[in-house]
Amino acid sequence: MIKIENVSMSFGDKKVLDNINLEIKDGETLAIIGGSGSGKSTLLRLMIGLDHPTGGKIWLRDKDIAHMPEKELDELRLHMGMVFQYSALFDSMTVGDNVAFGLREHTDYSEQKIAEIVREKLEVVGLPGTEDMMPGELSGGMKKRVSLARAIAFGPEIIFYDEPSSGLDPIMTDKIDELIISTQKRLGVTSVVVTHDMDSAIHIADRIAMIYEGRLIAVDTVDNFRRIEDPRVKAFLRGLY
Ligand code: ADP
Ligand code: MG
């Protein structure tokens, strides 16, 4: 579904990603792991077209999003769900209006149709009937759920998560992991999950890719990944980063 080809990214003279090659398969959940500052979020932003690489190509099916005009990218992004590290909900809007935001901006659906979609998406994330609540009334985990409901409002083909459980306690982290798995099963989407939590990666992913100082040093199925002998991978598996 996505093919990252010889991608490099520099900010000024600082090379943050160095010749990354990675394929994301239709319908899989790929976890991208690595220590803080290794380049995970940068790679995710490139896949969404929020930044453009200084070298290489990023194929989304047959389109190179690394070299695509902004207008075309906007259109494409409607079919990509994004759940960021910080929930980024509009605090002055109800939960329902938050989920409906993109639909109102980008479609001419009737209010009745929008309400129906919002109802359904809130149900998918386990928050039925919360349309009229305000974000301030929600726990951190609930806000993440609302972000996910908003991300799936358009029926995306692919969902990107950047550290979806950062700032949440271990119980909430488990719940978000379960939600990622159930969303994946229910919608049959492709998922890319950036995390520095090895346990989460093992739990939710089909394959794991590890970035170390801007280089992709390992990518394999979860079972194989756990047997990799590279000392950097082993250190990560032991929770040393
Ligand atoms: P991670 O998500 O793995 O923690 P990031 O992708 O956020 O890492 O960052 C990788 C490196 O790139 C870091 O050293 C960070 O400071 C740098 N970086 C990220 N974004 C920018 C930017 N917009 N300008 C300059 N440096 C950046
Ligand atoms: Mg990051």
List pLDDT tens digits, range 73-104.
Answer: 988 888 899 998 776 899 999 999 999 999 99
**Ligand (nearest to CA of 33):** 1
DSSP secondary structure string, 48-108? HTSS--SEEEEEETTEEGGG--HHHHHHHHTTEEEE-SS----TTS-HHHHHHHHHHHH--
List pLDDT tens digits, range 188-210.
Answer: 999 999 998 889 999 999 999 99
CA of 109 to the centre of ligand 2 (A): 35
Q: What is the mean pLDDT of the chain?
A: 93
Closest CA to 117 of 150, 141, 93: 150
Least confident of 22-26, 71-75, 167-171: 167-171
Predicted local confidence at residue 18, as pLDDT: 98
User: If you ran DSSP here, which 8-state letter would residue 136 be given?
Assistant: G
Q: What is the ipTM of this complex?
A: 0.98
Domain ranges for the chain, please list them.
26-40+70-238
Where residue 224 falls among pLDDT bands split at 50, 70, 90?
very high
CA of 81 to the centre of ligand 2 (A): 17
Residues 6+ apart with CB under 8 A from 112: none
* Residue ID of nearest Cα to ligand 1 atom 6: 39
- Stronger pLDDT, 55 or 140, i.e. the higher one: 55
Question: Which is the closest atom of ligand 1 to the Cα of 162?
Answer: 2
Predicted local confidence at residue 241, as pLDDT: 61
Q: Is the model's pLDDT at 40 over the cut of 80? A: yes
Q: Is the model's pLDDT at 39 over the cut of 90? A: yes
Question: Which is the closest atom of ligand 1 to the Cα of 196?
Answer: 3
Closest CA to 210 of 190, 184, 230: 230
> 110: Cβ below 6 Å to ligand 1?
no
List pLDDT tens digits, range 122-137.
Answer: 999 999 999 999 999 9
Average pLDDT over residues 37-55: 95
Task: Tell me which CATH homologous superfamily contains domain 26-40+70-238.
Answer: P-loop containing nucleotide triphosphate hydrolases (3.40.50.300)
Residue 42 burial by Cβ neighbours in a 10 Å radius (0-12, 13-18, 19+): buried
Residue 69 burial by Cβ neighbours in a 10 Å radius (0-12, 13-18, 19+): exposed
What the block records as the tokens of 125 is 């994330």
- In whole angstroms, give the CA distance from residue 185 to residue 129: 22
